[in-house]
Amino acid sequence: MGSRTSELVGVLCSLARSAEGVALLASPLDKLPPSAYDCRSVVFFYSTRQGTLEPNYEVSVGVCRENCASVLKDVESVQKRSRVFYVPPPEGDVVFVAYAGGRPVGATYLNPGSFNLDYGIHVAREFWRRRIGTRLLKEALDVARSEGAELLSVVRVLRSKTGASSDRRAIAFYSASHPVLGLDVYRLTR
């Protein structure tokens, strides 16, 4: 782990110690029993200097930094085919849309202040397991690096204590994509 990553871990651990009712665990072997918490998230950090798995270069990726209204219908189409509902990007986020044959098939939002992938990476179900999510991650890492970021993060808030099948698929993707750090974050029950 690099010095900046170690520094980040120290800051996160300090925050967790000072936040009442929060547990932060870096090892998957340290999982808490479901009776100890009422909500769980997983956060992954990626180095902007490290490569990804081999991305799919057969898809094109559009990047929109301002006035992204024209691509939001494409993003909505992807999200509804990925997770059924649509969440528009927070104002100021950089919007990435992957296209296959002119059809929108993947999307993600990069927060340029925190370098977090807000709401994660989404790929239409019929295009899963074709490295389109990897391509979106690579493009977001490239933009983050060009903006001076050393790390990019993504948070997955689990739908249930132990995680739904969609959570397990997302976590498997983010884990396989070479994060420099993955943390479980728990909201403890009282």
Pairing mode of beta strands 151-157, 60-64? unpaired
Indicate the domain borders of the chain. 50-149
Worst-scoring range by mean pLDDT, 53-67, 90-104, 118-132, 156-170?
156-170
CATH code for the structural domain at 50-149: 3.40.630.30
pTM exceeds 0.75, yes or no? yes
Averaged pLDDT, 11-26: 58
Mean pLDDT of 96-112: 96
**What pLDDT score was predicted for residue 114?**
94
* pLDDT of res. 1: 47
State how far the alpha carbon of 131 is from the alpha carbons of 83, 102, 115, in Å: 18, 17, 22
Question: For residue 40, is pLDDT > 50?
Answer: yes
* CA–centroid distance for 114 within its chain: 12
Instruction: Look at residue 185 and give its three-state secondary structure.
Output: strand
| Three-class SS of 60-111 | EEEEECCCCHHHHHHHHHHHHHHCCCCCCCCCCCEEEEEEECCEEEEEEEEC
Better pLDDT: 13 or 160: 160
Judged against a pLDDT cut of 90, whether residue 9 lies above it is answered with no
Question: For residues 146 and 66, which has the higher predicted lDDT (pLDDT)?
Answer: 146
How many CB atoms within 10 Å of residue 23? 17
DSSP state of 127: G
Query: Do 130 and 56 contact (CB within 8 A), yes or no?
Result: yes
Which uninterrupted H or E stretch holds 129?
none
Q: Please state, in angstroms and as integers, the Cα–Cα distance from residue 175 to each residue in 82, 102, 112, 166, following that order.
A: 19, 29, 23, 14
Q: What percent of the chain has pLDDT over 70?
A: 84
